[in-house]
Amino acid sequence: MNITRITLPAFVFFLFSYTTWAQEFKWFGESPEMMKAVEGRGWDDIGFNRLPDSVESRVRPPVWNLSRQTAGLTLRFTSTSPEIHVSYAPTGNLQLPHMPATGVSGVDLYTKDQKGNWLWVRGGYSFGEKVTYKFQVDNSQADTREYYLYLPLYNGVKGFEIGVPVEKDLAFLPARTEKPILIYGTSIAQGASASRPGMAWTTILARQLDMPLINLGFSGNGRMEPEV
C-alpha cells in the first residue's frame, strides 16, 4: 500500500513531464522568406553576414572575419505562440575574457505591448556545439505579436532555426525599406561589452527611434579605410 501511494504520484508527474517535453514543434530554417526578414544588412543575398563575398579580396582579413559576425542583424516576425524556440550552431568562440556568452553568442527577443512599449522576453538558454534558447511569452489571449530577434554580437550562426508549437502561427516580416541608420566604428560600435545583443547601444538607439540600423562596427578595426 505504501508503495502504491508513492509510485502513482511519481508516475503522473513523469507522464505530465513527458507530455510537455514531447510537444510537437514546427521549425523554420534558413529560407528566402526568412532572409528577407533579416534587417541590418547593406546588401541583399549575403546570408547572416555584414559584407558581401565580392569584397573579401579588397578588405583586410581582420575586417573580413569580423564581417562574418552578426552584430546588428535582426530577424522580424509575428507569432501567436506563447513559446518560441531558437537553435543554431555558432561559428566561433562562445565567449570572450571580458564579455559573457549571452552577449557574444546569444540572441535576444523583444516584443511590444498594446501601447507600443518595448518588452524584453526572458529565455532559458544552453551553450555548446549548438546554442538553444527557449522563450516564454505572456500570450494568454493568443493574439498575434510582433517580435524582434537580435542575433549575436561577436559570433556567426549556421543552421539557424526558429520553432513554435505546430498549432501556433509564425510569419516573417519583410525588412523595412526606409533609409537605415548606419553605424561605423570599432568595438564600442560592434557591441562590446553588452550582456545581451538587445542591450548594445546601437540596438537601443534603433528601438527608441523605431528605425532599421546597419552595424558596420569592426572591433579594433575602424580605420576609416576607403574600401570599407
pLDDT in tens, 24-54: 999 999 999 999 999 999 998 899 999 999 9
CATH number of the CATH domain containing 46: 2.60.120.260
pTM recorded for the entire structure: 0.89
- Asked if residue 101 is part of any domain, the answer here is yes
17 has a pLDDT exceeding 60: no
pLDDT in tens, 69-97: 999 999 999 999 999 999 999 999 999 99
The mean predicted confidence, pLDDT, of the chain is: 91
Contact assessment for residue 102 and residue 60, using Cβ atoms and an 8 Å cutoff: no
Q: How far is CA 112 from CA 28, 69, 153, 219, in A?
A: 22, 27, 22, 31
Structure confidence at residue 152 (pLDDT): 98
SS3 79: strand
Structure confidence at residue 116 (pLDDT): 87
Weakest mean pLDDT among 135-139, 183-187, 190-194, 195-199: 135-139
- Asked if residue 15 is part of any domain, the answer here is no
Structure confidence at residue 142 (pLDDT): 57
- Asked if residue 228 is part of any domain, the answer here is no
Contact assessment for residue 50 and residue 216, using Cβ atoms and an 8 Å cutoff: yes
Q: By residue range, what is the domain housing residue 82?
A: 23-217
- Asked if residue 1 is part of any domain, the answer here is no
Query: Which of residues 144 and 74 earns the better pLDDT score?
Result: 74
Q: 137, 135, 139: which is closest to 196 by C-alpha? A: 135
- Asked if residue 9 is part of any domain, the answer here is no
- Asked if residue 10 is part of any domain, the answer here is no
Alpha helices in 29-125 (DSSP H): 32-36, 61-67, 101-104
**20, three cell numbers:** 510537455
140 has a pLDDT exceeding 80: no
Contact assessment for residue 116 and residue 106, using Cβ atoms and an 8 Å cutoff: no
**34, three cell numbers:** 526568412
Domain count, the chain: 1
